[in-house]
Structure 1
Amino acid sequence: MPSKILGLVLHPTRTPDDSLATLRSWSAGHGVELVARSVDADRAGCRGLPDAEFAATVDAVVSLGGDGTMLGALRLLADRPAPVIGVNHGHLGFLVDIQPAELPDALDRITSGAFALELRHALRVRIGDGPSAVAFNDVVVSRSPGRSAVAVDLSVSGDRYGYYRADAVVVATSTGSTAYSYAAGGPVVSPSAPVVLMTPVAPMAGISRSLVLGDTEPVGLAVTDPARIEIDGVAAVEPVRDTVVHVELQRDAGQVVRLDAARYGARSRVALSLLDLPLRPDQLLELVPPQMRALRDAERKSGPL
């Protein structure tokens, strides 16, 4: 991936010093300039640019954080998609692919062109007559604190479709199918599928199952009760009564760098299977027989046998 200007997007609170040192060394040896968003420039130790100029300037971006940081990088570039490389300095890491220790090898492979680009779809969202926003995971219309439910009338391509009365309604991309929509009982969809998923959370009346809509079917959600709206987990506004939330799919709005698609797919499937267990990862260790845990601890102290 020839790149002369490489953008850095950092986790909002964690500073990944080891990965930043690796990137500085690599960029100096390859004639690549590192730039960061203005809010990250001091921590990144490089030139900072306002978000709009950053998005218009970079040839590629390295996201240093978790899935939330990666989603933020993709949103920044939605009007001018460029490759995004995800380095996992977060927790779950469904979307990010590269571990910090793998970054030097990953940069060598990217330099030699040994990678693939995975296209991701997004949602274009407009609340009432306001400006549009972008979501790569989902848009959530949920009940306001103190309210028992949210009431939403659904239209598809301008035609009335039905209504929801539920704790929330999740409008998700195929990428977001493994996030809130999945937790609410929605289907897992291949990230390559250009679809819009509608999943109610704890439905009380109206539509009670997930809907899968095509990429040419714009959605309208008429909010008839006080509600909250979140876009990729970030609070947007609390719409007034009878506000319509307009949602359309934007195809190929993001480009994700994949070094090993098969490994990424296998890891994601394992992560999804673990989510079905009511245990944290540290609790899962208790399922391992004591003798095997003791052997593992001994190998860690002495090195591989």
Structure 2
Amino acid sequence: MKNNKISIIGVPSDYGQHRRGVDMGPSAIRYAGVVERLDRIGYEVLDEGDILLKHDKVKKVQDEQLKNLDEVIEVSSQLSDKIQDVLGKGRFPLILGGDHSIAIGTLTGLGTKYKNLGVIWYDAHADLNTPETSPSGNIHGMPLAVSCGLGDERLVNIAGYAPKIKPENIIIIGARSVDPGEKELIKKHGIKVYSMHEIDRMGMTKVIEESIEYLKKRNVDGVHLSLDLDGLDPLYTPGVGTPVPGGITYRESHLAMEMLEESGFITSAEFVEVNPILDERNKTAEVAVALMGSLFGEKLV
């Protein structure tokens, strides 16, 4: 990482899905020692606190195809503003979720600075659903589509511009649960995907090498890492809302983070979907913090 100044932003939102508890993710990650760990590595870490949610915790579903839409828009708008503030101070935004719908706000804020942003989406899911294709209406399954300008116009046009990212600048790593509508969008827009099949056949080293070269050829002006803890196999991260067996291993994930750090390529990152209620002794949050250590250059010797 070229930027030695990190700003941590907590987003305690569970509005994008139906399982309670993920709003405690930022607290669990802090409890697992993220600030202390990054400080030991040598970073200047400023914990900016949490985005303050104005709505009551009792959810108002409103629309079965876009559950908790008003709340998601509010969180996204606040997060976008906060990220713009952090970027304006020349600091690295490190966002702690919260469910993956918070990426709508993250990518909105980043898009005000980076006009050709690359995105590495480390996830078991593609998160490319629209209200028409979503089997659940949960917005945490829509953030990539929304950020590409696809879906409900109220979400798409947060902060008054769209799209936030280009489909051809996206790389999905770890996919193994993709809905039919998402598959169509992947084919239509040429989104690059490394499913578990490719990871098993090629190995993580080749996947990350190709990803870095691919984004370099796209002449991206920044690269955002959006890491959903369900990208890893549930054996390592039991505290997630939508676990999918057969995922990326703990060691493969560390290798991926280490290689991304060596590339000097990552300009922002978020770690999402840690749910302490579903976890085992904060294991998933501890894995998240360990992976952050590797992403920010922690060395054994």
Same fold (TM over 0.5): no
Q: Which structure is richer in relative contact order (CA contacts within 8 A, separation 6 or more)?
A: 2
Give the structure-1-normalised TM-score: 0.30
Q: Please identify the structure whose Cα radius of gyration is greater.
A: 1
Looking at secondary structure, tell me which structure has more strand per residue.
1
Looking at secondary structure, tell me which structure has more helix per residue.
2
Give the structure-2-normalised TM-score: 0.30
